[in-house]
Chain A
């Protein structure tokens, strides 16, 4: 292995990590602003111009808070929980192709940490690991509300993973590959997968809402029933890690949705742009477009949160098992038949 390869990847990982954290930070700010605007309010506007420094103030607050470990908690697991949640949230960005290859005078630098040929499965694995952070945290707190919430989170995530996986199978029938880079390349020039798999996308999106524990599926942390949810007993930066992990999850699942269904870094007219602006600027424009799509999804997450009230637990389970899974299976069958007929 060349040393320059290691440096390249290390730099990319560092940048991605920094961007994830930055976006998570500013998602908290955006969430409050969006919530405020949707409710005819102003939102935070005191720290800096338009309250732009609010996330920093929140961060400082989190660090300065007293760190409390309940005396009956399992100390080791109590510490592992938030770390695991954060870790699982962050490693999801590794397989997402952030742009076309950068070409520095023949030296090609891919804007993707690793292009494994089972990228979709990797994302799935990471997403399903994410629930362990919640489970461990909720169990280690030795608090009945935390435990209830952790159980809820686990059953919710497992239920919706099934429908999510089934909706992906229909997508894979269309794309014929599990590599995210190839899936994106296939969507070049308006062949976006959402046009071929609208139902699959809908199911996938609903499941991502459930997987990221966002409203209307935020039962693991519903304040009215469970105080704070699985992080009731957490304080200081451990709590901050849980909240951060939720926003990073939102970022990653937005990125996955944009990559799988909305063409990733592809945008209309990109060939013309690539021919005119040179080999380094063109991929970066593609990356910017991908980020625009991601921000649009993040905004949509927030928009939905402040529109739809929370599901009841039985409604959640009904939707998952009795509606989404049959729909996803029907989607697979229909996709299969259509592909067979077209290729016949």
Chain B
């Protein structure tokens, strides 16, 4: 059949000539190729000491943010849990007491906030759903562990460190 694209090339397989049938020149050439790699820089990243840089839109472990005064932003509205396609997020809301005004930004806050890292698919929908800019997937790789229960991360692991001097 005629080729319509006109891109088809017919390759003719010529019989090998004597030098080629000896194979030795080709082997020597191959040895040269491997030897040239011997002196190339290796592309290995020595992982525990050295880490590969993430791209800017990398999504890693979640962190619950604080505002500029160091108060937790999350108001436990539950939109992140609702948007989560993997059902990884749960929370229990609580009302802020007057003496806790410095800790939480609004009257309602998340007393318990848990993400199951085994369920999470790091899609970033919680980040998009959050109206308070309280959750971002800007952390490192979630480390491995031995027990399933240890993959359920609570506020102790998720909330950002308090601001300096507070």
Contacts and interface: CB of A to CB of B under 8 A. Distances in A.
A312 to B, nearest CB: 14
A281 to B, nearest CB: 33
Nearest to A300: B31
A114 interface: no
B34 A38 contact: yes
Interface stretch (B37-45, B65-73, B137-145, B152-160): B37-45
B44 A306 contact: no
A45 B35 CA distance: 21
Contacts of B40: 40
B42 A306 contact: no
B4 interface: no
A304 interface: yes
Given A38-B37, A40-B37, A308 B30 contact: yes
A42 interface: yes
B31 A39 contact: no
A322 to B, nearest CB: 12
Interface string A33-55: 01011111110010000000000
A36 B31 contact: no
A14 interface: no
A37 B27 contact: no
Contacts of A291: none
A196 B44 CA distance: 45
A39 B37 CA distance: 7
A306 B27 CA distance: 12
A303 interface: yes
A42 B27 contact: no
A176 interface: no
Q: Which of B34, B37, B41, B46 has the most CB of A within 10 A?
A: B34
A307 interface: yes
Given A37-B37, A37-B38, A42 B44 contact: yes
A38 B27 contact: no
A36 B42 contact: yes
A38 B34 CA distance: 6
A40 B43 contact: yes
B42 A37 contact: yes
Nearest to A305: B34
Q: Which of A34, A36, A38, A45 has the most CB of B within 10 A?
A: A38
B44 A41 contact: yes
B30 A307 contact: yes
Given A36-B42, A41-B42, A304 B31 contact: yes
Interface in A17-47: 34, 36-42, 45
A36 B37 CA distance: 10
Given A307-B27, A308-B30, A40 B42 contact: yes
Contacts of B34: 38, 303, 306-307
Q: Which of B35, B38, B41, B43 has the most CB of A within 10 A?
A: B38
A308 B24 CA distance: 11
A326 B72 CA distance: 86
Contact of B27 (A34, A40, A45, A308): A308
B32 to A, nearest CB: 9
A125 to B, nearest CB: 31
Contact of A42 (B31, B35, B42): B42
A209 to B, nearest CB: 12
A45 B40 CA distance: 18
Contacts of A40: 37, 40-43
B38 A307 contact: no
Nearest to B32: A307
Nearest to B21: A323
A35 to B, nearest CB: 10
Contacts of A45: 46
A296 B30 CA distance: 18
Contacts of A303: 31, 34-35
Interface of B: 27, 30-31, 33-35, 37-38, 40-44, 46
21 contacts: A34-B38, A37-B37, A37-B42, A38-B34, A38-B35, A38-B37, A38-B38, A39-B37, A40-B37, A40-B40, A40-B41, A40-B42, A40-B43, A42-B44, A42-B46, A303-B35, A307-B30, A307-B33, A307-B34, A308-B27, A308-B30
Interface of A: 34, 36-42, 45, 303-304, 306-308
Q: Which 5 A-B pairs have the closest CB atoms?
A: A307-B34, A42-B44, A38-B34, A307-B30, A37-B38
